[in-house]
Chains A and B, each alone.
Chain A
Amino acid sequence: MKDKNMILAGLVVFIVVITFPFWFNMGKAAPAPELELTAKAKAAKTCVMPTAFMTAEHMQLLDVWRHNVVRSGERMFVNADGKLFDMSLSNTCLDCHSNKEKFCDRCHDYASVDPYCWDCHIDNPKGE
């Protein structure tokens, strides 16, 4: 029957659309990206907070830092171990992680995140 063919055609289109992730990635492995730490970052061993916290919550930390510096003029951050840090993306974060392409961007690209840090900050303040 004519209707039955139409319904079948619609069903085929639907199945093709919803299985998009399966055929789009066919035969491609997509492992999590490897991050490269600079020599300075390796030597420091820990970031301002523990690694597990940093992977999940660095955006929140940076946002709070920005708020504190821009709105309240506070520049000092004390971490759980009592160590002092300057709340600065360019001077603290990028001091160790000076390899944005091999550190920040790898995960951000993988997770399709486009942070607007770099609208204002230059990614290599030391010009290395």
Chain B
Amino acid sequence: MNKNYMVSLIAVIVLFLIAYVGTQQGAGLQLVFGIIIPYLAVILFVVGFIRRVMGWSRSAVPFQITTTCGQQPSLPWFKQAKIDNPSSTFFVIIRMFLEIVCFRSLFRNSRMKLNGGTKLTYQLEIFLWVGALAFHYAFFTVVVRHLRFFTEPVPFFVTLLEKVDSFMRIEVLYDAIQSGLPGVYMSGLVLLAATLYLFLRRVLIPQVRYISLAADFFPLFLIMGIALSGIFMRYFTKVDIVAIKELTMGLVTFRPTIPEGVSGLFYAHMFLVSILLAYFPFSKLMHLAGIFLSPTRNMTGNTRQVRYVNPWNYPVKVHTYDEYEDDFREKMIDAGLPVVKMPEEQP
């Protein structure tokens, strides 16, 4: 039992129930959860995102602090690691691109271990990298796929992605559990599994648990809640998809409507997404923008070719050796110390 994840879990469950109960027959808060909160969340997301990045853009970056991971440019017979120690903007862009799409620095993750009690070893620890890749790409696919609810006509790339994603035809038709929708989206399942892995990793590995805070668990539970409610709506407790698209299209065309027959589960799903959007600019999720601004990655490692001077260096008042000697020349000669400039002979 750990208060960090219990608090986060309870928070997500409560948020889910608020929206679910609030949109049941009788409560009638459809207008709030279907229109007002989603709009507020999007505004908060965009404005908060811009403010956060603009704040970062004002911070000082005086020095090149690139983390180099290979041979720097040197004498011509040394082969430079051009991507891992880039000395030109072009290779910095390649390095950044690979960092963002392949998470290369996460791949270098290693685990320190005492072997036989005395020998220190470093092992490649690849599972976090695999889990992170699975999570991010699944989430990206899920987001792009959802554009089918926000565009009319649906653009070809969304349809194409849906086709690829639902490539596996799976149906489960037992008496106890039935899912008769053979077009199963792999991304949704991968997203849920990867989030679960990232959560279990934080709970089961003692060192990671020690550094995990509520702010680490809350987004994980939130995303789990979103994925679960989405999967439930698609495969188990079916919803009226056309009514839902009418609602979402109303939002993006600024003609908001609340159609009949949209279930509470959908409002809860959308409420959790709204929470995620609103929470985004104030949380660790801002690494979406932060990755582009990480100075250890986005700078050239050419400090031996180019001299970087701190731009706000002020002229420092110095007392040179010549001035020092001027102050003490006579005393130095008296003490027999060598001087650079002999005093002129007095006539």
**Which of A28, A52, A62: most chain B CB closer than 10 A?**
A28
Contacts of B179 in A (CB 8 A): 60
Name B37-59 residues within 8 Å CB distance of A.
Answer: 46, 49-50, 53-54, 56-58
Q: How far is the CA of A40 from the CA of B255 in the complex (A)?
A: 35
**Residue contact A107 to B242, C-beta cutoff 8 Å:** yes
Min CB gap B195→A, angstroms: 22
**Residue contact B148 to A52, C-beta cutoff 8 Å:** no
**Residue contact B50 to A63, C-beta cutoff 8 Å:** no
Q: B208-243, CB under 8 A of A: which get 1 and which 0?
A: 000000000000000000000000000000111111
Partner-contacting stretch, out of B17-25, B121-129, B245-253, B339-347: B245-253
A63-B171, A112-B159 known; A32+B151 contact, CB < 8 A: no
**Residue contact A55 to B242, C-beta cutoff 8 Å:** yes
Partner-contacting stretch, out of A11-19, A41-49, A80-88, A90-98: A11-19
Chain B, Cβ-Cβ closest to A28: B253
**Residue contact A31 to B246, C-beta cutoff 8 Å:** yes
Q: How far is the CA of A111 from the CA of B159 in the complex (A)?
A: 10
A60-B180, A64-B178 known; A7+B152 contact, CB < 8 A: no
Contacts of A60 in B (CB 8 A): 178-181, 238
Contacts of B70 in A (CB 8 A): none
**Residue contact B46 to A15, C-beta cutoff 8 Å:** yes
Q: A97-127, CB under 8 A of B: which get 1 and which 0?
A: 0000000000100111110100000000000
Q: How far is the CA of A35 from the CA of B122 in the complex (A)?
A: 65
* Chain A interfacial residues counted at CB < 8 A: 40
**Chief secondary structure at chain A's binding surface:** helix
**Residue contact A111 to B57, C-beta cutoff 8 Å:** no
Determine if B26 is an interface residue (Cβ-Cβ < 8 Å). no
A63-B182, A112-B162 known; A15+B245 contact, CB < 8 A: no
Determine if A8 is an interface residue (Cβ-Cβ < 8 Å). yes
Name A43-77 residues within 8 Å CB distance of B.
Answer: 52, 55-57, 59-64, 67
**Residue contact B180 to A63, C-beta cutoff 8 Å:** yes
Q: How far is the CA of A59 from the CA of B241 in the complex (A)?
A: 12
**Residue contact B253 to A29, C-beta cutoff 8 Å:** yes
**Residue contact A56 to B57, C-beta cutoff 8 Å:** no
Contacts of A32 in B (CB 8 A): 242-243, 245-246, 259
Determine if A128 is an interface residue (Cβ-Cβ < 8 Å). no
**Which of A110, A111, A112: most chain B CB closer than 10 A?**
A112
B residues bordering A, Cβ < 8 Å?
Answer: 46, 49-50, 53-54, 56-58, 61, 147-152, 154-155, 158-159, 162-163, 171, 173, 178-182, 238-243, 245-246, 249, 252-253, 255, 259, 261, 289, 292-293
- The list of the 8 closest CB pairs from A to B, nearest first, reads A63-B180, A21-B150, A60-B180, A30-B152, A112-B148, A56-B238, A112-B154, A32-B246
Starting from the known contacts A7-B293, A27-B253, A63-B180, 9 additional A-B residue pairs (CB-CB under 8 Å) come to: A29-B255, A32-B243, A33-B242, A57-B238, A60-B179, A62-B180, A111-B241, A112-B154, A112-B158
